[in-house]
Structure formats: C-alpha cells, structure tokens
Amino acid sequence: MTEFSDELERDEIYFRDRWQFEQKYDFLPDPTVDQNDYTQEFYFFVPNALQINRSTYSIKQFYRDLTNLIRFKTPVFTLEELTDLSFHPSPLARIKSLKNRKQNRKMVGKLEDELNLLGNVFRSAVRKRCQELSRILHQKRYDEFVLQTNEFCKELDLFLSVYEKTHGDIMNHWAQPSIHEHFQYLSHFIHHSTDQYLIQLLERVRSHKTDKLNKIDERLTNLLLDTQSEISLSPSQSEEEGEKVVYTKSLLDKFFLNSLLLNIDHFSPKKKYQNVIGAIAAGIAMLIFSILLMWQGQYFLIDSAPFIIITVVLYILKDRIKEWIKALTSHQFIGWISDYATKIRSHNDKYTLGILKERFSFIGEEELPDDIVQIRNREFHTVVESFKRPENILYYQKKMRIYRKPQDLETRRFMLNIIFRFNIRHFMDKASNPFSPYSLLDEETHKLKVMSLPKVYHLNLIVKTTIEKGNSPARVELMKVRVIADKNGIKRIEYP
C-alpha cells in the first residue's frame, strides 16, 4: 500500500487515508466573460453485495460522507521568482516593499496576508520541484537528476538567505507583536515544509542504491540538517511529544491556508421551498381528484357502493400523485431544485463570486448516458465479460457558476481549487472478512492446503467534467477510476 503521507506521486484521484479518497481539480474562470460554468457528475457503481441502496443509504448519509471544499488555488511561483525582489507579484518582494510603509491597521493586515500567502506559495513551489525531480529519478536519468537537484538546493539556500534578511529588515522597522508572531509561524512552516519534501526525495534517492547518487545524498542530508524544523520529531521523543508535533503541524497548515479560503454561505433550497412544493403538489392532486370525482358522479349515485369504492380509489390515487410530483423535484434529470446550494464569497466578504449547487440520487442503468455506459464497459475483466453486473448506481452532481471577476479583486488569487473527498466507511459495513479460505491440492506433495486469499470489492467511479466559459464550446473530460477496498478500508486505486 502507498503511504498516505507521500505527496510526490499523486494521481488525479488518490486515497487520503484508509477510508477516504480525494480528487482535486483546478478551475481557471475566464475573467472577461459574465459567467463560467463548471459541472462535475460522479457515477458510483457499487456491488449489490454491499447492500447500498435507497432503503439502506440516505441522502443525509451521503452528504455526511462527502466533503466538498472550494478555495483559491495557490499561486504558482518558482523559487527563483520568489527570491527575485524586483519581481512585484512575489509575496517576498511585496513584504520587502512594506518595510517603510505607515504602520496602521490596514498595512498590518496587508503584511500579514502576504506572509500567509508566502507560506503557501513556498510550500507549493518546493513540492512541485520535488515532484519533478522524483519523476526524473524514477526514469533513472541519474545525471540529469544530480544536475537538477544541485540547482534546486542552490535555489533553496538562496531563498532561505533572502527570507532571513527580509525578516530582519522588517522586524527592525515594525514593532507590532502580531507581525513578530506571524514571522515565527512562517519560519516554522517554511522549515517544516522543507523537511517534509526533502525527506521524501531523500527516501527515493536511497532506494536506488547507486554510487551515482552518493554526493547528492550527502547534499540533501546536510541541507536537511541545516533546515531541521524545531517542531520535528526525534526518535527519542515520547508519544505525547509526538502528538504535539502532529497537532502543531495541523494548526500551522490551517493558519496559512486561511489566506486562500473563501467565505461560503451553505443552505438547502429544498428546505426553503419544501412547503411551497408540497402545497403545489397537493393542489394539483386535489384538482385531479375533484375532476374525477365529479365525472364519476354523473354515472353513480352518491350513496351507492360503486361510488364509495371508486371515491376511495381516487383518494388513494390523489395521495400517490402528490408524492409523485414531490419526488420529481429530486430526480436526476427532471429535478430543478438542488439538495444544497453554496454561495461563494470573496475573502473580504465584499463580493459574491459564484454559487455551487449539489444534487444526489440513486439511478437505474437505463438512465445512464451513452458515453458513461461506454466507459463503464471499457476494459472490464477478461472473464465473465458478458455477465450482467449486479450493482447499484449512485449519482452526484455539483454545478458551479462563477461570475465575472471584480476589477479590484486580488489578481494572483482567482484560480479555484475544487476538492471532492469521500468516505467509504459506510459502504463497507456489510463487507465480508478481508480474507477468504481457499482449498487446493498441492501438485508435488498431493496434500490438501488451505490458503487465505484477499477478499476485495471494486467500487467503480466515473467522473464527467463539463466546462463552459461564455459562448465558447463546452469542454468535456471523462475519467474512470476503480477503488479496490476490503473490510479494513481502501487498498489501492486503479485507472482501468
């Protein structure tokens, strides 16, 4: 099983822990058009053996298992761009430019925001660079890897040097305690992020066991020793001290992520309009009942047995018509009211940037679009291909509309990072034991043997993404993944 903490080799969908998988999608709205529409449709194909259906799995439970996050994507900078103090978009350059500015509340907030943004941008730049180096190493292009890694180490050393100098310059002019605290947090965050990715890179270097990498191993080791974070864990620390390290890291992550978060207003349109929908449904049903009641009155006496029997049947029909009309509002294709809606607001709460609408339902195989059916049947197992798979299909749609970008909104922060995270724990409640006994006859000894073979379930997921920007043609992307899981959680994710 892949380590959950490994961030250098992640696909579009990966598992976050043994119960949750996650998808991140970057969406850049076109600032020149009035609205950008982004729609994602998730088709879950769940084996019947897990007993996930309308009776056992509710809409409320689905949304409890789902985590939907929207935030600004971290602006992309290289370490070289960050270190260039003449490059105005660099947060480090902007921090430097605030050295002699008037120290009022507005400037304090601006400086703190740039410090938070610098933390995110630095971590993203280091992670991206380490991912590139990891790919080169995986292809065994050792000479290129050594050259690129030495360049990376130089860039990292230069950044840390310029950062420390800028830190000192600001603190010599700014006396606010909050600025001092921000720099303390940022220094911890920078060093911890460096440790995190350099250690993963060093692990890969040592796994190749070649003399060509000895010098780069030494270079990375020395750099790690120089940048070792004060909140890092040593082998001799106690369990309680280890808890403190993880807790502190989590707080730092949340603290710096704040500069990329969007304010949201989450509500349920169905709850808002359910009384109106119920009244309309009841009115239509009553109208049909009254018409049919008057019609039958022309043929039967009011106190006759046929009149009474037909009236009861019509009343039952009226009640079913009312429930049928109400159910239409939640159906995948006919429903026009979403389960939940989320207004997306700017960081300063000044603008409504867009709105996200979500819908969930169970659907039948006959309701699947042709393109989804084609992908579902692609590259199925080489055996029992003609077997009709007994499975239930869950459908989830999220549709986001982003409005025209306000002119005074921060230029560096407008691309969105949309995160879909799902917990399959409830899917596996009815799963069998993770191992199944299997008997066989040994060909050499002719003795009977019993082996324990893994018992797994395949949760297939197809994601259809549709992007529409103004009058431009819609762009459609389709992706299929297979989550392999057992009673103990997710084992791996495949791309069939």
Tokens found for residue 26: 């970057």
Q: Kindly state whether residue 242 falls inside one of the protein's structural domains.
A: yes
> Cα(17)–Cα(35) distance, rounded to whole angstroms?
36
Asked if 369 and 254 sit in the same domain, the reply is no
The domain boundary, picked from 307, 328, 349, lies at: 328
pLDDT tens readout for residues 401-430: 998 888 777 778 888 888 899 999 999 999
Q: Are residues 251 and 297 in the same domain?
A: no
CA of residue 423 relative to chain centroid, distance: 11
Of the residues 328, 360, 377, the one at which a domain ends: 328
Note the pLDDT of residue 234.
56
* pTM score: 0.78
Answer yes or no: do 193 and 294 share one domain.
no
Same domain, 199 and 96: yes
Q: What is the pLDDT of residue 380?
A: 53
Beta bridge partners of 470: none
Query: In the chain, how many domains are there?
Result: 3
Q: What is the mean pLDDT of residues 433-439?
A: 88
Q: Both 429 and 454 in a single domain?
A: yes
Are 240 and 101 contained in the same domain?
yes
Give the pLDDT of residue 328. Answer: 65
464 compared with 273, residue with greater pLDDT? 464
Res 394: pLDDT: 95
Q: Tell me the Ramachandran region of residue 6: left when phi exceeds 0, alpha when psi lies from -120 to 50, beta otherwise.
A: beta
Question: Tell me: the pLDDT tens digits for 220-265?
Answer: 999 888 877 555 555 556 677 777 777 888 888 888 888 888 888 8
Distance CA 133, CA 191 (A): 20
Residue at 333 is within a domain: no
Burial class (CB in 10 A: 0-12, 13-18, 19+), 423: middle
Q: What is the pLDDT of residue 383?
A: 47
| Same domain flag for 281 and 178 | no
Among candidate residues 306, 328, 350, the one where a domain is terminated: 328
Query: Percent of the chain having pLDDT more than 90?
Result: 43
pLDDT surpasses 50 at 334 = no
Percent of the chain residues topping a pLDDT of 70: 88
Helix 214-227 and helix 142-173, axial crossing angle in degrees, nearest 10? 20
* DSSP string computed for 165-180: HHHHHHHHH---HHHH
Domain presence at residue 384: yes
Instruction: Name the average pLDDT for the chain.
Output: 84
Q: What is the mean pLDDT of residues 438-466?
A: 89
- Identify whether residues 100 and 223 lie together within a single domain: yes
Assess if residue 4 is contained within a domain. no
pLDDT in tens, 80-126: 999 999 999 999 999 999 888 888 888 888 999 999 999 999 999 99
User: Does any domain span residue 148?
Assistant: yes
Structural domain span for residue 449: 16-72+339-494
Mean pLDDT of 71-76: 89
**Which residues are within 8 A (CB) of 306 and not within 5 positions of it... i.e. 6 or more apart?**
300
